[in-house]
Amino acid sequence: MTNKPPTRHTGFRPFWPTAATPPRDIKVARMEDLSAKLQKTDAEEHEEARHNYLWKLMNNYIPAEKDSVQISFVNHIEYTCARSRFNFDKFSAYLACSYSVRDRLIELFNDTQEYFIAQKAKHVYYVSIEFLVGRFLRNALQNLELEDLYRESLNELDISLDQLFNEEYDPGLGNGGLGRLAACFMDSLATLNLPAWGYGLMYSFGMFKQTIGPDGSQMEIPDYWLNYGDPWRVQKPTVSYPVNFFGYVDQNGKWVPSQTIIAMANDFLIPGFATDNTLGLRLWSSKPSAELDEEKFRYGDYYDAIAQKQRAENLTSVLYPNDNTNEGKEMRLMQEFFMSSATLQDIIRRLKTVQKADVRELPRYAAIQLNDTHPTVMVAELLRILVDEENIPFDEAYDICTKVFSYTCHTLMPEALEKWGVPMFENVLPRHLQLIYQLNQLFIDQLRYNYHADDEMIRDLSIIEEGCEKKVRMANLAVIGSHKVNGVAAIHSELMKQYVFKNFNRIWPDKFCNKTNGVTVRRWLHHCNPELSNLITQVVGDENWAIHPGGLTKLMTKIDDPNFVSEWAAVKNANKLRFANWVSENMGVELNPNVQLFDVQVKRIHEYKRQTLNILSVIYRYLRILSGDTQGMQPRAIFIGGKAAPGYFFAKKLIKLINNVSRVINNDPRVGDLLKLLYIPNYNVSLAEVIIPGSDINEQISTAGTEASGTSNMKFAFNSSLIVGTWDGANIEIGDAIGNENVFFFGTKVENVDRIRAGDGRHISEKLTRVFDAIRNGMFGDNEYQCVIDSIYNGDHYLCGQDFDMFVEIQDKVDRAYQDKEKWTKMGITSTANMAFFSSDRTIDEYAKQIWDVHPCPLPAASNDDDPSTPSAPLPQQVGSLRRHNLGSMSDKQASGSQLPSKGGFGSLSRRGNIPSAQTHQPRQQQNDDNDSDDGGLEINL
């Protein structure tokens, strides 16, 4: 690590003035203070004395010492977990350890928030319906650089830190790539020192826990991840807001709602890596506006008396309620508005009470990023707040909206762009529909006047879709209500402009841009692959590559060193063995990682992701083995995993087929190690951290033009797992970065897809016919998979039949390549070494500079010469003598932030260096009474 002055863990806590107390020249400040002291009232003197005393009670950071860790751990065992310190189980130990780490996060979070306020910093508000954060404990320890200290401290108590890691439940706060991207972005926002909050929903049961039934079918059971509480959740019952639904709009245009549900804040603290900055992820849980109906309770109708409470709490019970019913659709819309309304109320509260600004200044203080269409109803809600509550003219309110909002489009598939039926929307949000109609009319008038738009163009761009049932097009609302719209991969952004938003791009070409997705290198290499991380550090020289991944290119200097290549291969084999051991312990299947190639496809089950193509290829490989056609065939273990939406019939049928093919292959003695097929149930972040490092290849085989970006391809590539992929999403850019010769590309290219779909007939090869015959003949169970065959015969929309032979051929090429182990290992090294562009730090840096106009605001380190024996708390005007840096304007801070190029290596980011000794004192931030917000704790009275 690069050394720098100590910035945390031990010593005196610094004090940062609030925005209401800007830094002053020290000599002038002393004269002003002397004058002020002569005029102080008794009440002011009492308040100052109280302020100083409170600061002195907690004026030091928790020390980074074994004694401190052990005392904190035992205290939490006794006082927080209410267990005897002489008799506790592993889960209690996990809780106590987590609370101990959380204490440190709270210190840093509070100081970070105070500093942002002092700097009058513009904030990013990243709003997403899901955050797939994964386990917290090890990630927090690594980002705080305290893992070794905690490991040693707990070892002295005969407690294994690794066992505690396994006690943690994966939070049920997300499902797939959308939520994992949001989690990576929060890590990068904190690491890059950007002022930010994440906002979403606090799900009680997540999406569902996936199990596989005896017949191979997906079974959905509730994910009781909160059964034993969650030590990382900081519940904030005093931070609550009323969210209204239903009702009517009176003759004066006032919304009279008929139902109110309370949104209560739950905060998770997100530490940056190698920085003191710690951010908040605020998730809203639903609570009733009244615990029970008192009148019904008095008459003994107890069940009906609590019905309102149950209905309210159900709103945030499950991620993505089944929308095959009207009730499910209504629940989804209510969820999205609930998140949007509570978030906007919180942002505006912070603007008024903390940043002391007028609501018209919202664009100066806030950039709101809409992650997909789920939060786009925020546009209508902000319009309502500005027009109805702040009495701002509609045109001005719309102008404020467009300056505040930006929107990320994550799809090219029309069905994924949300639309709500007008009758349902009007029933749930009657005033918002009025405002949408008003906005739509304003927009249409502009189209006719400024762009001479014809009726066809207006129909395409209108927020309201005409038809048998009128619908509200949320993507169109997002585009009209935002100043920037971005795609998430180069090819996706071009296709988005050419097809999805073609006419919008004609009138607003500057509104559309690309921001290729990325993943956090900390979790997806440094954290999940510690052996490879250590090997990389040996070559690079330090761990700076985790925030400057351009340093990974140094690996190429060792690629011709046979000892290094052997070490790299040994790490891969160790990771495969870890994966194989997990399979043995949890699935009862024995693998041979030293012989078998590990082939992985783990992602949401969907037709466009083409697990269909994969399983058909597996069946063909099995038929080859039975016929003796095994020359040159590389032994393989093939893994497929992911969840299907509960109402997605085809995807669930596909899971059943995969499991029954697996049952047949794995129990056939003629196959042996040549082929194993396993379906990984309940795929989540923790499983990914085992699977990804232990894979040899990964399947990124979506139909060209359907995958917006993909991020699992990036995670695998960072871990030297080679991609078998189509010319789609981020695969193309990864090929550009690491060399197309290091990616196994195949399949139809996007420019040919429409032509093939429009052609007569479908391509069913002899090889694929053999597979279909085996399925029809009942080789894998009763003939209930005809829908899979029909999907190819009747249209082949996703080109599984078209690409089948090419997929078989590319797998043969993989077999041949894998058998040259030295060349294969070098391909993996080349992959890892050239992936810097796909760090989420680069993505977030581009958002910050090109969309949000938000600047780094790193919490300054304290001076080393501060005197911890100061008899009283420093006054605001004395702060300059207690910090390394004065609190200048935001422009003064830009130089201390990251300077990240578009590709390759990264610029300077501050590092912490070694943990300071107990004798090195660091002042900690003094809380200022002017900050009575929840960022320091404002109570919201409803």
Query: Hunting for tokens 């079974």 — which residue is that?
Result: 219
pLDDT of residue 52: 84
pLDDT of residue 427: 98
Average pLDDT over the chain, rounded to an integer: 88
CA gap 454, 941 in Å, rounded: 51
Residue 307 has pLDDT above 90, yes or no: no
Cβ 878 vs Cβ 26: under 8 Å: yes
Dist CA 98 CA 253 (whole Å): 50
| Average pLDDT over every residue of 218-228 | 95
CA atoms of 228 and 225, how far apart (whole Å): 8
SS3 872: coil
Residue 519: half-sphere exposure toward Cβ, Cα within 13 Å: 29
List the catalytic residue out of 374, 419, 572, 715. Answer: 715
Distance CA 665, CA 839 (A): 39
Q: Which of 13, 120, 410, 911 is catalytic?
A: 410
Give which of 108, 41, 52 is closest to 876, Cα–Cα.
52
Reduced to 3 states, what is the DSSP secondary structure of residue 419?
Answer: strand
List Cα–Cα distances, 473 to 274, 381, 459, 476, in angstroms: 43, 16, 11, 6
pLDDT band with cut points at 50, 70 and 90 for residue 305: low
The pLDDT confidence band at residue 58, using thresholds 50, 70 and 90, is confident
Band of pLDDT at residue 370, cut at 50, 70 and 90: very high
Q: Who contacts 94 (Cβ-Cβ below 8 Å, separation ≥6)?
A: 137, 164, 167, 168
Q: Among 436, 360, 426, which residue's Cα sits nearest to residue 393?
A: 360
The CA distances from residue 79 to 61, 87, 143, 229, 344, in Å, are 21, 14, 27, 16, 37
| Cβ within 8 Å of residue 493, ≥6 positions away | 486, 487, 512, 513, 514
DSSP letter, residue 926 = P
Residue whose entry in the numeric block shows the structure tokens 């009730």: 327
Residue pLDDT, tens place only, 523-577: 999 999 999 999 999 999 999 999 999 999 999 999 999 999 999 999 999 999 9
Q: Cα–Cα distance between 656 and 649 in angstroms, integer?
A: 11
For the chain, how many residues are written? 942
CA angle (763, 764, 765) in 5-degree steps: 110
Question: Per residue in 375-413, pLDDT tens?
Answer: 999 999 999 999 999 999 999 999 999 999 999 999 998
Q: In the predicted model, is pLDDT for residue 12 greater than 70?
A: no
Residue 277 has pLDDT above 90, yes or no: yes
What angle do the packed helices 177-191 and 840-847 form, to 10 degrees? 80
Q: Point out the catalytic residue in the list 603, 653, 855, 921.
A: 603
Q: pLDDT category, 446, cuts 50, 70, 90?
A: very high
pLDDT at residue 14, as a whole number:
56
Band of pLDDT at residue 812, cut at 50, 70 and 90: very high
What sections of 745-896 are H helices per DSSP? 750-758, 766-776, 786-793, 800-818, 821-833, 840-847, 890-893
**Which DSSP letter does residue 938 get?**
P
State yes or no: pLDDT of 428 exceeds 60: yes
Q: Which is catalytic among the residues 120, 123, 484, 604?
A: 604
Q: Is the pLDDT of residue 745 over 70?
A: yes
Q: Which backbone phi and psi does 362 adopt, to 5 degrees?
A: -50, -45
- Angle at which helix 137-144 crosses helix 177-191, to 10 degrees, equals 20
Say whether 576 is catalytic: no
CB under 8 Å to 869, separation ≥6 — which residues?
none
Q: Is the pLDDT score of 493 beyond 50?
A: yes
- How far apart CA 497 and CA 513 sit, in angstroms, is 9
**293 falls in which pLDDT band (50, 70, 90)?**
low
Main-chain dihedrals φ then ψ at residue 406, nearest 5 degrees: -140, 155
Mean of pLDDT values over 664-681: 98
Share of the chain above pLDDT 90, in %: 80
What six digits make up the tokens of 580?
Answer: 């194989």
Half-sphere exposure of 416 (CA within 13 A, CB side): 13
Instruction: Report the distance separating Cα 452 and Cα 445, nearest Å.
Output: 10
**Mean per-residue pLDDT, 96-106:** 98
* Rounded mean pLDDT, 648-659: 97
Which CATH entry fits the domain spanning 527-835: 3.40.50.450, 3.40.50.2000, 3.40.50.300, 3.40.30.10? 3.40.50.2000
Provide the pLDDT for residue 301: 64
**CA angle at 734 for the pair 730 and 740, rounded to the nearest 5°:** 125
Tokens found for residue 612: 């269909």
Q: Which of 711, 830, 832, 843 is catalytic?
A: 711
Q: Tell me which DSSP letter residue 511 carries.
A: G
pLDDT at residue 354 is higher than 60: yes
Is 609 considered catalytic here?
Answer: yes
Render pLDDT for 309-338 as a digit per residue (tens, 0 to 9): 788 889 999 999 988 899 999 999 999 999
Question: How many Å apart are CA 225 and CA 351, to the nearest integer?
Answer: 34
Q: Is the pLDDT of residue 863 over 70?
A: no
> Of the given ranges (607-621, 639-653, 687-701, 899-913), which has the lowest mean pLDDT?
899-913
557 is a catalytic site residue: no
**What is 429-455 written as a DSSP string?**
-HHHHHHHHHHHHHHHHHHHHHH---H
- For residue 393, CA distances in Å to 151, 384, 387, 396 come to 59, 11, 6, 5
Cβ count within 10 A of residue 382: 26
pLDDT of 38 reads 59
Q: Which of 135, 269, 123, 271 is nearest to 191 (CA)?
A: 271
- 821-833 and 800-818 are packed helices; what angle lies between their axes, rounded to 10 degrees? 110
Q: Is 233 annotated in the active site?
A: no
Task: Indicate if 715 belongs to the active site.
Answer: yes
123-134+170-514, CATH topology level: Rossmann fold (3.40.50)
Q: Which residue has the higher pLDDT, 325 or 345?
A: 345
Tokens 């995670």 correspond to: 715
For residue 173, count CB atoms less than 10 angstroms from its CB and return exposed for 0-12, middle for 13-18, buried for 19 or more: buried
Residue 28's pLDDT band, with cuts at 50, 70 and 90, is low
Closest of 458, 414, 423, 419 to residue 440, by C-alpha: 458
* Residue 663 among the catalytic residues: no
Residue 777 has pLDDT above 50, yes or no: yes
Tokens (6 digits) for 412 = 């090219």
**pLDDT (0 to 100) of residue 741:** 98
DSSP structural state of residue 51: H
- Position 938 pLDDT exceeds 60: no
Q: 34: how many CB neighbours lie within 10 A of its CB?
A: 9
Which part of the chain has CATH 3.40.50.2000? Answer: 123-134+170-514, 527-835
Residue 109 confidence (pLDDT) above 70: yes
- Alpha helices, H only, 119-146: 137-144
SS3 call for 243: strand
Would you state the pLDDT for residue 782? 82
Q: What is the pLDDT of residue 297?
A: 58
pLDDT(22) > 80: no
Can you read off the two tokens belonging to residue 14? 């610094």
